[in-house]
C-alpha cells in the first residue's frame, strides 16, 4: 500500500485558476478556457509529499497563496499545471473537482467555517453524513453527538450559524469535517478567532486525529507555534515557491530570509 | 510540466471534431450552459445519493417558498386583473355587437396568454430573485464550495429542489391566478354593481360567464395550461440558479446578479411564450384546413 497521502509535483497556479470551479458549468468545460496573457502566477512549481498520518503546517506572509494552495488540493481552485496524487492515485486535470476529490476522504475546514446558513449546528454536521448515507439513523445520530462533544458545541446544537461567534463556527466546521472520518484533512487557519482556552483544547484534538485515526493533516496558519506544539514539520509559501518542510526548531535557528523575517519576534522573545 | 490542455480532440475523426466544436460553441454560450445546468439538475434526481424523504422535504419547502408566500400578492393582482378584463370585454364587445366572442376573449386573455405570463413575472420577480440572492450569498460565503468539499453535489442540493419545487409552484399558481381572475373578478364586479346601482350597465351572471368560458376552451388550451407554466417555471428557476452560481466572489455582485436574473427571466419567458404560441397558429391552420 502506498504510504503517501498527498503528492504534489510541479504545481502552478494563476489568478484565473483561483476563480474556482463553476458548478453551473459542465465538469470538463472549464479546462477549455483560454489562458489570459496578463494572468499573474500565484504559485510557481510547488512540490510536496505528505505521508499518511503526518501533520504539516504551511506558513508564510499574507497574500502568498497559502489558502489558494489548500483550495487547489481540495479541488476548488484549478491549477494551470502540475500533477496531484491522492493516496498514490493521480487525478487527471479534467477530474480535479471538489466532488471527485471528496470521494477520496479529503476534508476541508474553511477559514470562515463556511457553515450552511439555513441549517442548525446539528443539521450542519449531519448534512454530509445523511447525504452519503453513512450508517443508520441511530449511527449517524451517535456520530453527530460525538463530534459535538469533541468540539464542545453540544449546547449550541439547535443554534443557527449566525447566532454563533466566529470561534464557535470554526469549532462546528471542524466537528463537521471530523464526523466524515477524513483520511486527509485540510485546515485553513484553524486557530484564528479562537481564544487561548479553545486553542489549547483544539491542538490535542488535532494531535489525536493524527495518532488515533492516522489522519493526515495540512494546516495553513500564521500561528507558527502550532508546529512546535504539535511537533510537526513546517514549510513556507514564500515568493511563489513552497519550501522544503523542516521542524520548527530548524526554522527558528536557520539563517535564511524566511527565518529572519518570520521568526524575528520569536527569536527576540526567546 | 504538465499543461492542462485538451489533447484528445486531435484523436477525433472529422465528424467528431465538427460535433465537438458545435458542442463547445453552444456550451460556451449562456443559453447552452443554462440548458446544461437544467439537464444536470434533472439527471441528479437519479444520483446514488437520492433519498426520497430528504428530497421530498426540500422540494416541498421550495414549493412553499415559491408558491405559498407569493399567494396574497398574486391573488390581489389576479382579482384586479380579472375585474379589468371582464369589465372591458363585457362593455366593449357588447357595444360592438360581438357578445358571442366574450368567452373566447376571456380564454385567450386570461387563461391562455396573460394569466401564465403575469404569474411567471410575479414568480420571477419575487421567488426567482430570492433564489438568486440565496444561492448567490452561499457562493460568496464559500458555502457552495463547502458542500462540494463534503462531496455534496451543489446542483443536487440547491438547484434540483429549486427547479422541481419552483416548477410545481408555478404550475399551481398559474391555475390559481386564472381561477382567481375569473372567480374573484366576477365577485368584485358583482360588488361594484351592487354599490353603484349597475352604473356600469353590465348584465353579468355566473352561468353566462362560466358557460361562455367553458364553451371556448379547446383541447389545445388544456394541454397548454399544463405545458406553459412548467416551461416558465423551469426557465425562472434554472436562470435564477445559473445567475447565482456564476457570481464572482464579491458581495456587490449579488444585487447585480439578482437584477440580471429577473430581467433575463422576463425576456426568456416572453420568447418561450412566442414559441409556444406558434403551436396555436398550427392549431388554427388545422381548423381552417378542415373547414376548407
Per-residue pLDDT tens for B52-67?
A: 777 888 889 888 888 8
- In this predicted structure, the answer to whether residue A31 has a pLDDT above a threshold of 50 is no
Cβ separation B51–A130 shorter than 8 A: yes
Greater confidence (A180 vs A38) lies with: A180
Q: Which residue of A has its CA nearest to B154?
A: A23
Report strand pairing: A184-188 vs A81-86.
Answer: unpaired
Question: Is residue A22 within 8 angstroms of chain B, CB to CB?
Answer: yes
Q: Do A117 and B137 touch (CB under 8 A)?
A: yes
Q: What is the mean pLDDT of residues A32-54?
A: 75
Alpha helices in B28-114 (DSSP H): 30-43, 52-66, 71-96, 102-106
Q: Which of A181, A205, A229 is the last residue of a domain?
A: A181
What is the count of structural domains for chain A? 2
DSSP class of residue A35? P
Q: Which of A10, A24, A32 lies at the smallest CB-CB distance from B6?
A: A32
CB-based contact A176 B150, cutoff 8 Å: yes
The position carrying cell 484528445 is B8
How is residue A135 written as a grid cell? 450508517
What is Dmax (Cα atoms) for chain B?
88
CB B153 within 8 A of CB B47: yes
Q: Is pLDDT above 80 for B249?
A: no
**What pLDDT does residue B97 have?**
72
Find the CATH number of the domain harbouring A60: 3.40.50.300
Of A228-237, B5-14, B50-59, the range with the highest mean pLDDT is A228-237
A77-81, A216-220, A230-234, B98-102: the lowest-pLDDT one: B98-102
pLDDT one-digit tens code per residue, A92-146? 887 888 888 888 889 999 988 899 998 999 999 999 998 888 888 899 999 999 9
Q: What is the mean pLDDT of chain A?
A: 84
**Is A130 in contact with B153 (Cβ distance < 8 A)?**
no
Instruction: Give the pLDDT of residue A187.
Output: 93
Tell me the ipTM for this assembly: 0.88
Q: In the Cβ-directed half-sphere of B208, how many Cα atoms lie within 13 Å? A: 11
Nearest to A108 among B27, B149, B249 (CB): B149
Cβ contacts of B49 on chain A, cutoff 8 Å: 131-133
What is each CA distance from A192 to A25, A172, B109, B230, in whole angstroms?
A: 34, 14, 61, 48
Task: Give yes or no for a contact between B137 and A117, defined as CB atoms under 8 angstroms apart.
Answer: yes
Q: How are beta strands A55-59 and A81-86 bridged, if at all?
A: unpaired
Nearest to A98 among B2, B137, B148 (CB): B148
- Determine the 3-state secondary structure of A10 from DSSP: strand
Nearest-CA neighbor of A125 among A136, B246, A113?
A: A113
Taking 90 as the threshold, does the pLDDT of residue B290 lie above it? Answer: no
Instruction: Name the band, by pLDDT with cuts 50, 70 and 90, for residue A261.
Output: confident
| DSSP H or E run through B182 | helix B160-196
Does any CB of chain A come closer than 8 Å to the CB of residue B224? no
Mean pLDDT lowest for which of A26-35, A201-210, B172-181? A26-35
Mutate to test the interface with A, among B146, B158, B247 (most CBs of A within 10 A): B146
Question: With bands split at pLDDT 50, 70 and 90, how would you rate the model's confidence at A22?
Answer: low
Q: Please report whether residue A196 resides in a domain.
A: no
Do A12 and A82 fall within a single domain? yes
Name beta bridge partners: A228: none
How far is Cα of residue A29 from the mean position of the Cα atoms in its chain? 26
Tell me which of A114 and A25 has the higher pLDDT: A114
pLDDT band at B6 (very low <50, low <70, confident <90, very high): low
Alpha helices per DSSP H over A5-49? 15-18
A231 burial via Cβ count (<10 Å: 0-12, 13-18, 19+): exposed
The helix/strand/coil state of A36 is coil
- pLDDT of amino acid A197: 82
| Coil, helix or strand at residue A134 | coil
Q: Does A31 touch chain B (CB under 8 A)?
A: yes
- A44 pLDDT exceeds 80? yes
CA atoms within 13 Å, Cβ hemisphere of B288: 6
pLDDT for B89 equals 83
Measured distance CA(B263)–CA(A103) in Å, rounded: 39
Is A117 strand, coil or helix? coil
Give how far B241 is from chain A: nearest CA, Å.
8
Q: Where are the domains of chain B?
A: 52-291
Write the pLDDT tens digit of every residue in B92-109: 777 777 767 777 888 888
CB atoms within 10 A of CB B285: 10
Does residue A124 sit in the same domain as residue A73? no
Measure the CA–CA gap between A39 and A45, rounded to whole angstroms.
Answer: 16
What pLDDT is recorded for position A225? 86
The Cα–Cα gap between B56 and B60 comes to 6
Residue contact A25–B33, C-beta within 8 A: yes
Of the candidates A17, A7, A27, the one whose C-alpha atom is nearest the C-alpha of residue A65 is: A17
Contacts with A107 from chain B: Cβ below 8 Å: 149-150
- Alpha helices, DSSP H, located in B97-158: 102-106, 115-123, 129-140, 143-149, 154
Whole-number pLDDT of residue A21: 58
Residue A246 DSSP symbol:
E
Asked if A114 and B146 come within 8 Å (Cβ–Cβ), the reply is: yes
C-alpha cell at A215: 489522519
Instruction: Please check whether residues A16 and A84 belong to one and the same domain.
Output: yes
Confidence of residue B163 (pLDDT cuts 50, 70, 90): very high
pLDDT for res A259 = 79
Chain A residue closest in CA terms to B24 = A29
Residues A13, A90, single domain; the answer is: yes
By the 10 Å C-beta count (0-12 exposed, 13-18 middle, 19+ buried), B171 is classed as: buried
Q: Which residue has the cell 454536521?
A: A125
Q: What is the pLDDT of residue A220?
A: 93
Query: Is the minimum CB–CB distance between B241 and chain A shorter than 8 Å?
Result: yes
Q: How far is B187 from chain A (nearest CA, A)?
A: 41
pLDDT in tens, A145-166: 999 988 888 999 999 999 998 8
Structure pTM?
0.85
* Residue B261 predicted with pLDDT over 70: yes
Which cell is B123 given? 414568480
Mean pLDDT over residues B173-186, rounded? 90
Three-state DSSP state, A177: helix
Q: Which residue is listed with cell 358583482?
A: B190
pLDDT at A34 over 50: no
Is residue A203 in a domain? no
d(CA A45, CA A81): 9
Q: Which residues of chain A have a CB within 8 Å of the CB of B155?
A: 23-24
**Mean pLDDT of all residues belonging to chain B:** 85
A17 and A150 together in one domain: no
Stretch 221-260 of chain A: residues touching chain B, C-beta under 8 Å = none
Under 8 Å between Cβ of B150 and A126: no
Task: Extract the C-alpha cell encoding A254.
Answer: 536557520
Contact between chains at B2 and A19 (C-beta distance less than 8 A): no
Q: Which domain holds residue A261?
A: 1-31+41-101+183-191+216-270
| DSSP H or E segment with residue A268 | helix A264-268
d(CA B149, CA A190): 17
Interface test mutation site (partner A, options B52, B150, B247, max chain A beta carbons within 10 A) = B150
Considering the domain architecture, whether residues A164 and A187 belong to the same structural domain is answered as no
Q: Which of A70-84, B120-134, B270-284 has the lowest mean pLDDT?
A: B270-284
Amino acid at each position: 500500500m502506498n504510504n503517501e497521502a498527498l503528492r504534489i509535483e510541479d504545481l502552478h497556479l494563476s489568478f484565473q485558476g483561483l476563480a474556482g470551479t463553476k458548478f453551473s458549468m459542465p465538469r470538463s468545460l472549464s479546462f477549455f478556457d483560454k489562458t489570459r496573457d496578463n494572468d499573474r502566477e500565484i504559485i510557481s512549481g510547488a512540490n510536496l509529499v505528505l505521508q499518511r498520518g503526518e501533520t504539516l503546517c504551511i506558513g508564510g506572509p499574507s497574500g502568498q497563496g497559502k489558502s489558494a494552495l489548500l483550495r487547489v488540493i481540495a479541488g476548488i481552485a484549478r491549477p494551470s499545471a502540475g500533477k496531484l496524487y491522492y493516496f498514490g492515485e493521480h487525478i487527471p486535470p479534467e477530474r480535479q473537482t471538489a466532488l471527485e476529490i471528496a470521494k477520496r476522504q479529503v476534508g476541508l475546514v474553511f477559514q470562515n467555517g463556511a457553515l450552511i446558513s439555513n441549517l442548525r449546528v446539528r443539521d450542519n454536521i449531519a448534512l454530509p453524513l445523511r447525504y452519503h448515507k453513512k450508517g443508520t439513523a441511530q449511527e449517524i445520530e451517535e456520530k453527530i453527538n460525538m463530534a459535538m462533544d469533541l468540539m464542545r458545541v453540544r449546547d449550541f446544537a439547535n443554534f443557527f450559524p449566525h447566532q454563533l461567534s466566529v470561534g464557535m463556527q470554526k469549532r462546528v466546521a471542524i466537528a463537521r469535517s471530523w464526523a466524515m472520518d477524513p483520511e486527509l484533512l485540510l485546515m485553513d487557519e484553524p486557530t484564528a478567532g479562537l481564544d487561548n482556552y479553545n486553542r489549547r483544547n483544539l491542538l490535542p484534538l488535532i494531535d489525536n486525529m493524527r495518532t488515533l485515526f492516522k489522519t493526515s493533516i495540512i494546516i495553513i496558519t500564521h500561528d507558527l507555534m502550532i508546529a512546535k506544539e504539535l511537533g510537526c514539520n513546517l514549510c513556507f509559501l514564500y515568493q511563489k515557491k513552497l519550501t522544503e518542510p523542516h521542524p520548527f526548531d530548524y526554522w527558528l535557528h536557520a539563517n535564511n530570509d524566511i527565518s529572519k523575517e518570520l521568526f524575528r519576534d520569536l527569536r527576540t522573545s526567546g | 510540466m504538465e499543461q492542462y490542455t485538451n489533447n484528445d480532440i486531435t484523436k477525433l475523426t472529422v465528424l467528431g471534431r465538427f460535433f465537438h466544436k458545435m458542442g463547445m460553441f453552444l456550451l460556451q454560450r449562456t443559453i447552452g450552459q443554462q440548458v446544461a445546468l437544467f439537464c444536470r439538475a434533472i439527471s441528479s434526481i437519479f444520483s446514488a445519493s437520492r433519498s426520497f424523504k430528504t428530497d421530498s422535504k426540500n422540494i416541498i419547502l421550495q414549493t412553499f417558498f415559491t408558491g405559498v408566500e407569493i399567494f396574497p400578492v398574486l391573488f390581489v393582482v389576479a382579482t384586479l386583473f380579472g375585474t379589468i378584463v371582464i369589465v372591458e370585454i363585457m362593455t366593449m364587445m357588447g357595444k360592438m355587437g360581438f357578445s358571442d366572442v366574450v368567452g373566447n376573449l376571456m380564454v385567450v386573455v386570461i387563461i391562455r396568454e396573460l394569466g401564465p405570463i403575469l404569474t411567471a413575472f410575479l414568480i420571477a420577480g419575487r421567488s426567482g430573485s430570492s433564489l438568486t440572492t440565496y444561492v448567490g450569498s452561499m457562493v460568496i460565503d464559500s458555502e457552495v464550495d463547502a458542500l462540494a468539499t463534503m462531496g455534496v453535489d451543489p446542483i443536487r442540493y440547491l438547484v434540483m429542489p429549486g427547479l422541481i419545487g419552483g416548477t410545481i409552484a408555478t404550475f399551481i399558481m398559474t391555475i390559481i391566478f386564472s381561477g382567481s381572475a375569473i372567480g374573484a373578478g366576477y365577485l368584485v364586479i358583482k360588488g361594484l354593481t351592487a354599490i353603484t346601482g349597475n352604473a356600469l350597465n353590465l348584465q353579468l351572471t355566473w352561468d353566462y360567464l362560466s358557460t361562455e368560458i367553458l364553451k371556448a376552451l379547446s383541447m389545445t388550451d388544456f394541454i397548454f395550461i399544463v405545458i406553459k407554466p412548467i416551461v416558465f417555471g423551469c426557465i425562472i428557476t434554472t436562470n435564477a440558479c445559473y445567475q447565482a452560481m456564476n457570481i464572482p466572489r464579491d458581495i456587490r455582485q449579488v444585487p447585480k446578479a439578482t437584477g440580471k436574473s429577473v430581467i433575463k427571466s422576463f425576456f426568456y419567458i416572453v420568447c418561450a411564450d412566442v414559441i409556444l404560441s406558434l403551436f396555436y397558429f398550427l392549431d388554427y391552420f388545422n381548423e381552417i384546413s378542415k373547414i376548407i
